[in-house]
Structures are given as C-alpha cells and as structure tokens.
Structure 1
Amino acid sequence: MKVLRSTRFLTTLLAAAALAGAAFAANYSLWINGRTGGGVAGNYADFTYWGPAGTAAGVNKKAVNWDGYNHVSDTNHLIRNALDCYCTGPNWCYVAAHSAGNLQIGYALSLYGGTARYKKNATPGSDGSCANSDGTTQTGWNIKWVNVAAGAAGGSELANAGDWALSEPLVSDLKTATARAMYDHNNTRGKMFYLWAGAKGTAYSFVLPGQDDEAIAYHSAGGISGSGGGSYCNPSDWLCNDLTLGTAPAEGGKAKWTNHSVVFRDTAEAYNHYTNGNWQGTVGLVRADMVNNAK
C-alpha cells in the first residue's frame, strides 16, 4: 500500500508540474525594426521606431531593437537573443518586421534556425538576453509565422545608387546583389513569410524599378527570387509584369522565394515606406493584421 500511495503521489506531482508548465506558456509578438533604428537595444518595451507604445500590436508585443546602422551580421545576435527569450520552450512567437528587419529575421532563420537553442525563461536582463530555463535545448525557434512590411530582403536600388549615406555599414548590405546573396532566402525553416508591398512612390524614386514605396521596389517587398531585382507593377500598369498575390510566380514566370506570400499589393498607390513615428505606411496594415491574428 505504501508503494502504491507513493507512486500515486509521484504521479500527482508530475501532473501538477506539467500543468504548471503549461500555465506559464505564452505567445509573444516580436517587432523587428529596419534602417535608422530608434529604440534602445535590449529594451523590449521601447517602441520609439514604431509609434506610441500603448498602441495594440499583437499579443504580448515586444520591440526587438537594433541600431539600423551596422551590418546585419554584426547586429543579428540581438534578434537571436529575442527569439531565444520568447520563442523557446513552451512559448511561441509571431514576428513582424519592417524593411531591413526582413533581412534580420531571414538571416537568423536561414543561418541559425537549424541550430540548438537553449530554452530560456522569457525574463530578459538589461542587455536583452534571458537565462536558461531548464538547461535543455531545442532546434531553432517556435515561430508561428512572419509578417513583413516593405521587406528589404531583396535590397534597394537606392543603396546601389548611393542615395543613402555610404558611410553606413547597413547600406552596403542593402545593395541588391549583396542582400540577395547574404543567405538562402528560400530556407525559412518552414515558416511562412506574409508580405505587404507599398506603391506610393515619388518622382525622386525613379531609380527604383516598377512600383515602389519611395525606398523599396516591388521585387523586394514582393519576395521575387533571383540574383537581381526586376521591374514589377500593379495590374493597371502595362509597362511591366504584375506582382501577383499569394505564392504564385509573378507575371512573366519569375518565382517568389519559398514560403513567401504576398498578402497586400498597393493597387491604389496609397502607402509609402515610413512609419512617421505613428505606425503608418504598410506597417499600419501589418499592425492591424497582428492585432487580429497574433493572439
């Protein structure tokens, strides 16, 4: 009888521990900024880049701040810190990225998404890193999907032409040939990338082919594969091939990167590249989607 009672007691304790672990599981919404930065690195509550911090932007939103200035290779550890903190163990993440933030999450998944990651306790220190929860590891991160506003994974012709400060290390990363060769864009570790492409370009963005949002052309924002950028437009423009919705190849047959799907194509040419410190541009559309679906 004593053995039976001890076994039953142990079973009860294990069940209680499992329930306690489940109770602490949480979902998080990670926001990865683009060029120019804006928030303090390691401070996941600093939404300076995006807009008012009190604005709804998905469940348990966190700002994954990096300086938006230095090379992706030199700053990507900040993104991996956040993914380790909030997307391991019982916790899951939704990721939203803007502009060069697209390069950051793509780089992290392609190059590190198949590596062993220590499960973390989701309680970051001042440097943005978290302590191990139980000493065990897992492969990659628990990510449900990635939303991208004005994605720069394909680079920008503005970087090619020297329209941005050439002293910025990030600008060299944003050259179209460099951005497209930086990592395997098809290797998303099975995670879907949902894309929002703006088209409110201006006369001074003539160096950008096809439709653009003043900084990024459709070939990049639309996830078009290949070693160089092409000219892609809205269906109303007969001068270049259409950027198609979903995962289908663009008009003319050029494929999108694997697991990349265009959710929004700016046929009204109403959205530009910039947040304007108030969640604007295509970022506003992504924010609305995060509110509705990142729960």
Structure 2
Amino acid sequence: MKPLRLLLMLCLLLVSGLASATNYTLWIHGRTGGATIGNYADFSYWGPASMDAGVNKKAVNWDGRSSIASQSGTIRNALDCFCTGTNWCYIATHSAGDLLIGYTLANYGGSARVKKNAQPNASGVCGNADGSSQTGWNIKWIASAAGSGGGSELADVGAWTTSEPLVQDLRVRTARAMYNHNETRGIWFWMYAGADGGLTSAFLPGQDDGVQAYHSAGAVAGSSGGSYCNPQDWFCDVLTLGAGPAEGGHAKWANHWVAFRDDGEDYNHYTDGHWGGIVAVMRAAVAVNAR
C-alpha cells in the first residue's frame, strides 16, 4: 500500500500546484493616465471597471507624462507581481503603453525575476513567493491598440507640451531608436490600427486615428515612419493584415501581427471614458481570448 499512498500524495500535490496557477489580464494605458499608480483596480483611464476585459483584469497605472525609461519600473513591478511563478499574463496596451511594454521586454525580459505572490501592497509591489527566480515573465501575448512603438508625428511638430519627457520619447525617430523592437522574447504583439482621424490628421502620414498613423499602429519597421493606408486608397502603400510585409515590401517588426485594420475608418484614438475608439475593438477580442 505504501507505493500507492505515495502515488496518491504526488497526485494531490500536482493538483494543488495546478490549482494555484492563475491567469491575469494586465491593461497598460497611454499618455496622460490620471489613474492611481499602484492601484490595480483603478480603471478610470479606460472606462467602467465592470466591463469584461479579460480574466482577472488589472489596471497597470503609471504617470503618463514621464520618460519611458523612468516608468518602466512600475511596469516591471506589475509583471513581477502577476506574471511569475505559476501565474501567466495576457497584456493589453493603448498608445504609449505599447512603447512602454516594448521597451520593458527588450531591455528586461531576459533578466532574472524573483517570483512574487500576486498580493500587492499599496504601492503595487508584491511579496516574494518562495524566494526562487526565473528568467523574464510568463506572458501569453500582447494586444496593442493604437500602438506608439513607432512614435507619433504629433510629438515631432509640438502638438503636445514639448517639455514633457514622454513627448520627447514619442518623437518618431526617438521612439524607433529607443530599443530593439524585434526583441519581444518570442511574445507576439497583436496590433489594432484605427483610421478615424480628425483635424490632426494633417500632420500624420497615411491613415491614422488622430494620434497614431498606421506606420506605428501597424508595427511597420524602419528608422522613420511612412505612409500606409487601407486597400481602397490609391496614393499610399497598403498596411497588410498579419505579420507579412506591408505593400512595397516594408517589413513589420518581428512577432508583430496586424489583427485589425480599420477599413471602414470607424475608430479613433480616444477611449472617451467608456472603452471607446480603437480600444473597443481590442477589448472585445481580449474579453473573448484572455481566459
């Protein structure tokens, strides 16, 4: 009977270990922010917290004004909290949140991370789980609405407060040179690009959502932005769906996939306090797939 008892004990331990594994959905906002840093329940940037936005959703709030390098630590705290040990994460970003997670993965995704217990204090920092470490984080995929990995021409022309450190980082050439955008640690970015631009479209090449042009929201590689459009437009190259090159042979960054292109020009950049704009399309997809 002893071998049988030992087998039963091992099975119970295995089941217990599996039961403790949890999936989380982390939401990383864009410029301006306004939500409380360290409060993972504060979804005021996005809209009502009651909205279905993936399993065990957490709002990863940062100041929305400072440099990407200075705010990466806040993102790393959240990733350590919820995406280490037996826990796994889905990540959704908006606008500058894409630049922030891209920078963090490229520069810290290969570092040793102490496994945490997913029990944050008031500052958003979690305690150690068992004292052991792992390399990088457990991330299933990243969804990005109006991604700013390629920067915005609005930062170049001074449409925002030019003394703001984040605006300096959002300049097109600066954003594209900030880190190795091809280094995603093997994690896929699913890109959602809106095309309902407004008056600011005069400063943005090709299709845009009023803040981010398709070259950035569609993860087209290169040291500078270009003009990319929908298939019905005649005077610029088409932003293709999927991971393949845009029309004209312009490559996308590695492990970046255009999941949605706004052919109907229906979605702008802004959430408007109710999960609106291009975020609405991404949120619906995350709600179905982040489980």
TM-score, length-normalised on structure 2?
0.97
2:65 to 57, 64, 69: 69
Displacement, 1:168? Answer: 1.2
Range moving further from structure 2, 141-150 or 201-210: 201-210
Whether 2:174 is the aligned partner of 1:160: answer no
CA deviations on 1:261-285 (whole Å, 9 max, x unpaired) are: 1011111111000000000011011
Larger Rg: 1
Displacement, 1:193? Answer: 0.3
Three-state SS of the structure 1 residue aligned to 2:132 is strand
2:55 to 59, 62, 74: 59
Opposite residue 92 of structure 2, the aligned amino acid is A
Whether 2:131 is the aligned partner of 1:174: answer no
Q: Tell me which residue corresponds to 1:33.
A: 29
Displacement, 1:202? Answer: 1.8
How many percent of aligned residue pairs carry the same amino acid?
A: 60
Q: Tell me which residue corresponds to 1:246.
A: 242
Opposite residue 229 of structure 2, the aligned amino acid is C
1:206 to 202, 206, 224: 202
Displacement, 1:207? Answer: 0.9
Aligned-partner Cα distance in 2 for 1:16–1:184: 44
CA deviations on 1:138-180 (whole Å, 9 max, x unpaired) are: 1111111000000000000000000001121100000001100
Q: Tell me which residue corresponds to 2:143.
A: 147
Q: Tell me which residue corresponds to 2:118.
A: 122
2:188 to 189, 192, 197: 192
Aligned-partner Cα distance in 2 for 1:290–1:204: 29
Q: Tell me which residue corresponds to 2:265.
A: 269
Opposite residue 181 of structure 2, the aligned amino acid is H
Q: How does 1:65-104 map to 2 (within 5 A)?
A: 65-104=61-100
1:137 to 123, 133, 136: 133
Range moving further from structure 2, 137-146 or 200-209: 200-209
TM-score, length-normalised on structure 1?
0.96
Displacement, 1:60? Answer: 0.3
Q: Structure 2: which 5+ runs fail to align? A: none
Aligned-partner Cα distance in 1 for 2:145–2:188: 14
Displacement, 1:39? Answer: 1.1
Three-state SS of the structure 2 residue aligned to 1:93 is strand
Three-state SS of the structure 2 residue aligned to 1:177 is helix
Whether 2:278 is the aligned partner of 1:282: answer yes
Displacement, 1:13? Answer: 4.5
Displacement, 1:252? Answer: 0.6
Displacement, 1:203? Answer: 3.1
Opposite residue 42 of structure 1, the aligned amino acid is G
Alpha-carbon RMSD across the aligned residues, in angstroms, is 1.3
Range moving further from structure 2, 172-181 or 203-212: 203-212
Displacement, 1:15? Answer: 4.0
1:46 to 37, 42, 45: 42
Q: Kindly report structure 1 stretches of 4+ aligned residues shifted beyond 2 Å.
A: 7-19
Whether 2:243 is the aligned partner of 1:237: answer no
Aligned-partner Cα distance in 1 for 2:133–2:9: 24
Conservation of the 8 A alpha-carbon contact between 2:267 and 2:277: yes
Aligned residues: 291
Aligned-partner Cα distance in 2 for 1:38–1:63: 12
Aligned-partner Cα distance in 1 for 2:14–2:75: 30
Displacement, 1:18? Answer: 3.1
Q: Tell me which residue corresponds to 2:216.
A: 220
Aligned-partner Cα distance in 2 for 1:131–1:261: 35
Aligned-partner Cα distance in 1 for 2:101–2:4: 46
Opposite residue 190 of structure 1, the aligned amino acid is G
Whether 2:27 is the aligned partner of 1:18: answer no
Aligned-partner Cα distance in 2 for 1:31–1:204: 26
Three-state SS of the structure 1 residue aligned to 2:203 is coil
